[in-house]
Amino acid sequence: MKAMVLNRISSVEEKPLALVDLPEPVAQKGEVLVRVSACGVCHTELDEIEGRAAPSRFPMILGHEIIGRVEALGPGAGKFKRGDRVGIAWINWACGGCPFCLRGEENLCDTAKWTGKDVHGGYAEYTAVAEDFAYPIPDEFTDTKAAPLLCAGVIGYRALRLSGMQDGRTLGLYGFGASAHIVIQVAKYKYPNGRVFVFTRPHQKEHQALATALGADWVGATEDTPPAKLDSAIDFTPVGVPVREALRNLQKRGRLAINAIRKTTPIPELDYTEHLWYEKELKSVANVTRRDAEEFLPLAAQIPIVPEIQEFRLEQANQALILLKEGKMHGAGVLRIT
């Protein structure tokens, strides 16, 4: 099979993914072999390539927003049948027995495995996964439109929940890429009387236009002050400054959820009175659970979410990653594979 593999930590500008021919994986006990049709391009890949969240071994096939069809069943697998369309997300395996798993927090599992980081992912024609970590995909979505739902959508949904947003309140979104453009659609659906304020870098005119088109009540730059204090905020950016800015704009008792696996620049010094006092809360969002995916995918179809995507061929994965790093991806990048 064709695959784009990462052989070592590198900078994204060096176009580090190499097209290679590998043997197809074989579905082991309880697994399904999936013929990949589309795989989303996520910001986490930049962190993996550049070593901030390095893969556990090399070479590694990245990619954790996978859509494909079941090609073969491993011994004991029976949840799906051949030809079924499935999705695979960031959580690839969790132990089921640690204190976190036992209380439904498998996103924090001590020994969890992550797709495209510990186990080969979707930048390839085939991948294998435990059937319990694959999800049926609603018919409403084409393969390429469904791909970004698996991470940008699922983790965005988790971040929105953790932000404590409620109807009638205000929500600030810092950064408007793959995840935020889905979250605004969920927020507008679940909280019709809420207001959503979107913050981007000043030059990101396309991101601002998309936010307006998707119903943002106000759009401004990262360091702007919105028309009302924020009851909830989500920071989707890879940098530190928006953390301080979001805390500054929070309402009393407001909460900021940070939806990022790593930050590439430090969080600026915080002033206790200005940024934290009045019972403001700060919470990071780490990984996803299967339950997040199982709740979000049917909701995405019901809304229905309209993902804005930019398509690439598998061989163009390096170019897609460079565009993403430069903040020039419009909506979500997706590799069309087979």
Interacting residues toward Zn ion by CB under 5 A: 42, 44, 94-95, 98, 101, 109, 151
Residues 42/154, Cβ–Cβ less than 8 Å: no
Closest CB to Zn ion among residues 106, 245:
106
Report the SS3 class of residue 271: coil
Residues 180/234, Cβ–Cβ less than 8 Å: yes
Residues 25/120, Cβ–Cβ less than 8 Å: yes
- Take residue 330 and report the two structure tokens written for it: 């419009």
Cross-strand partners of 33: 72, 128
Q: How far is the CB of 297 from Zn ion (least distance, A)?
A: 15
Q: Which amino acid is at 336?
A: R
Closest CB to Zn ion among residues 117, 207:
117
Give Cα 78 distance to the centre of its chain: 28
Q: What is the DSSP string of 41-70?
A: E-HHHHHHHTTTT--SSSSEE----EEEEE
Q: How far is the CB of 98 from Zn ion (least distance, A)?
A: 3
Q: How far is the CB of 224 from Zn ion (least distance, A)?
A: 28
Q: How far is the CB of 15 from Zn ion (least distance, A)?
A: 20
Closest CB to Zn ion among residues 42, 146:
42
Q: How far is the CB of 46 from Zn ion (least distance, A)?
A: 10
Closest CB to Zn ion among residues 101, 247:
101
The DSSP secondary-structure symbol of 20 reads: E
Residues 150/67, Cβ–Cβ less than 8 Å: yes
Q: How far is the CB of 281 from Zn ion (least distance, A)?
A: 24
Residue carrying structure tokens 């009302």? 228
Closest CB to Zn ion among residues 20, 95:
95
Closest CB to Zn ion among residues 109, 219:
109
